[in-house]
Structure 1
């Protein structure tokens, strides 16, 4: 369920949120405020409006109900004349939020269409608009658009009109001065805002409902299928391009070791974040943020294959969510990437000296990719328990990557946000090399399975199959075991 603020942003109203049910309307045009109040009346929402302050007495309604309230026959016109701030009711219902955000950022428009489910949504920009900034913004937000060669100020969206609502919400996070920076800067700043939001939602082991709902809403636009299993794990899946590449499991856990202290704030000292009181919760909200960023990036990436997302519950009290995951979800998984490790450069390939997570060559692939993109500090190492153990027990080649936090489970917990974003970059680089990744996995399946190994820093040991046996469990064998 969207909040009132989200519903307003996605439709194009520019209000200042004072509280979840109270909004200051002084920065919005009179005509838009009048249309907003009229739409609330149509939706049978109780509110008061006094001295430019809107107070809503009802809980948020569904977005379907809200869209029905703001829509009417004949809504939307073909042109927005001049540089005057547009009126919401003059814009097509699904693109009004995007238009208002573009104009807020100084990227002025003159015409638009949300496609009406018959053609691609498109926007015509004012002749004085800097189209390089327009395209940089859309690339930074992972939006698949096409700039017309014949009409240089026309942009078409390769998406359905419902996705325009999500785009408007993402654009609200962008600040005007960001457009003077490089594309990657904008991407990182949006990522940090998402990370901060995730760190604001409490959810200790056994009480993950709120954070799961937030992650569900953020992930849903970017996957083909999404569900919550009977134990409470959040599962999702999407096939990209032809799907002929590998099937990769991406995993982080939703729970924190304890609830967040009421009223705590996030203290920022440059790239280092901490909590004013109690734990920060970067274990594993940082991992969750990384995977949500990957989900957004994948749509415009070169990756060809299938990605399965697993956000587990109750990891902190014994990997309970992962242990109770329905086995069928793992049957076709070729490899797993977990983001739930302290530090800034660890590729964890085993649980201490007890259990290997993968063949050494799998970990070395990540090392090589990191070096190729200039992240030379990433190194294979042994680690501690995590959900990675469960995927390895299913015979899946698995690694656990650093998420940037330190001193987890204590009041001294910190998060290096630069390191956290570096994990995003590493996973992107690995998935961009999906052909080499597939070849490496194929060679591992064909190679000598009598030996597996784990890696510690400057320490490579061979473990005989008689001691540790890690092999894929086939569907047939799984059925027999049941």
Structure 2
């Protein structure tokens, strides 16, 4: 079940430039009178009560479902010409003239400096597309879209403009508009890796602000499900509350790798707390930060997005467990069938930096020494961080190991978890993303190692 969109999300997804003051209160200084009139018409038709004083818009009602507003926005004849002129600033952008599903994308492209000549959401009959002026570098836009996880192609045959075709259905354009809204214009001078890393920090901060102590994981589970769903084949919540998903990549002829983090935090976030950022180290001004294990969740979600552009062939299973903090309850209750074909498991729930945890306290092994050495050798190929096998504490890793799965727990950068002194080195957290990328690039080596270990066990 999808989360209800906030008013701010709805405005972004459908092209309105509104500055949110608080949840239902917006400054309209960046929007034209014509576009505001269009918005007010839509709100009235939807039966939404609001107040506007000439600059500030206050929504009196809670957000409505996107499925309720779309029929109002998608009126007959909207965007019928598909030609909207050259848009370079907000004064030229008339939302009524744009196709329903691409209006938010056009707004964000203009904000980022890409002048559009015309656009089309495809009308469920052909591929959505935009025309970009030649002087605005359509190839650069294509690179940005790929970084964001949205595949596209560029046709440069025309004299005055380039065509950018989206390899997606028109509904996904709404998600693209929301994702583009997170990109800062000055990032466009940087390479794709920089943009990818900055967007990771944006997502990480969002996750850190979602409550969900043990036994009360509904909201964080909903957030994770919404972010993960576009990148997997199947996703479900089991009867115990664990969120399970899987995805087959390319031919599927490769290892089955499981990625795991836990949804719960040890105690609830303090209402109204703020995240204090001191360089790349984050902390909470009140109570716990919640990086244990929101950091691990963020790493997995980033990998799910990145795998769409990787060369990995095989299957990935995603497991987000409940009640880990009160005794590995969710992992212990997971239906065994979901684990039957898993070759290896990577848990993202270790403090500090550079730890590949291969046992609990040195006396309960999570994997063989050979498997640990294999991961160390792959880690040596990365240029970020130093990684080494070590003993650690209890975690969901312990449960996967009891099922005969070669498992390790990786550092994700938090320290002093479960206390008000909890911190998160976000740079270290992103290094774990880079390590997992390297691991997936060497997945065949991992599978060969696991098979060799299995044969030795039989002999």
TM bucket, shorter chain: over 0.9
Secondary structure of 1:448's counterpart equals helix
Q: Does 1:188 align with 2:197?
A: yes
CA distance in structure 2 between the aligned counterparts of 1:53 and 1:319, rounded to whole angstroms: 48
Deviation at residue 364 of structure 1 after TM alignment: 2.1
Aligned position for 1:262 = 271
CA distance in structure 1 between the aligned counterparts of 2:34 and 2:310, rounded to whole angstroms: 41
| 238, 241, 256: which one aligns with 1:232 | 241
Secondary structure of 1:347's counterpart equals strand
Secondary structure of 2:277's counterpart equals strand
Secondary structure of 1:440's counterpart equals helix
The size of the alignment, in residue pairs, is 450
Give the TM-score, by structure 2 length: 0.94
Give the TM-score, by structure 1 length: 0.90
Deviation at residue 376 of structure 1 after TM alignment: 5.4
Is the 8 Å Cα contact of residues 139 and 154 (structure 2) preserved in structure 1?
no
Q: Does 1:70 align with 2:73?
A: yes
Aligned position for 2:211 = 202
| 70, 93, 97: which one aligns with 1:90 | 97
Q: Does 1:79 align with 2:83?
A: yes
Counterpart mapping for 1:58-457 below 5 A = 58-76=61-79, 77-84=81-88, 85-148=92-155, 150-151=157-158, 153-375=162-384, 377-449=386-458
Q: Does 1:7 align with 2:10?
A: yes
- Listed one character per residue, the Cα deviations across residues 228-271 of structure 1 (whole Å, up to 9, x for unaligned) are 11111111122221222222111101111111122211111111
| 34, 37, 40: which one aligns with 1:37 | 40
CA distance in structure 2 between the aligned counterparts of 1:335 and 1:118, rounded to whole angstroms: 42
Deviation at residue 135 of structure 1 after TM alignment: 2.8
Is the 8 Å Cα contact of residues 257 and 316 (structure 2) preserved in structure 1?
yes
CA distance in structure 2 between the aligned counterparts of 1:444 and 1:62, rounded to whole angstroms: 52
CA distance in structure 2 between the aligned counterparts of 1:137 and 1:82, rounded to whole angstroms: 21
Is the 8 Å Cα contact of residues 385 and 431 (structure 2) preserved in structure 1?
no
Change beyond 3 A, Cα 1:121–1:232: same
CA distance in structure 2 between the aligned counterparts of 1:382 and 1:96, rounded to whole angstroms: 53
CA distance in structure 2 between the aligned counterparts of 1:423 and 1:339, rounded to whole angstroms: 9
Change beyond 3 A, Cα 1:327–1:261: same
Deviation at residue 149 of structure 1 after TM alignment: 5.0
Is the 8 Å Cα contact of residues 143 and 300 (structure 1) preserved in structure 2?
no
Q: RMSD of the TM alignment (CA)?
A: 1.6
CA distance in structure 2 between the aligned counterparts of 1:8 and 1:128, rounded to whole angstroms: 29
Q: Does 1:19 align with 2:25?
A: no
- Listed one character per residue, the Cα deviations across residues 387-428 of structure 1 (whole Å, up to 9, x for unaligned) are 011111111111111001111111111111110000001111
Q: Which runs of 5+ in 2 are unaligned?
A: none
Secondary structure of 2:324's counterpart equals coil
CA distance in structure 2 between the aligned counterparts of 1:175 and 1:418, rounded to whole angstroms: 19
CA distance in structure 2 between the aligned counterparts of 1:362 and 1:212, rounded to whole angstroms: 31
Is the 8 Å Cα contact of residues 40 and 69 (structure 1) preserved in structure 2?
no
CA distance in structure 1 between the aligned counterparts of 2:15 and 2:177, rounded to whole angstroms: 8
Is the 8 Å Cα contact of residues 237 and 307 (structure 1) preserved in structure 2?
yes
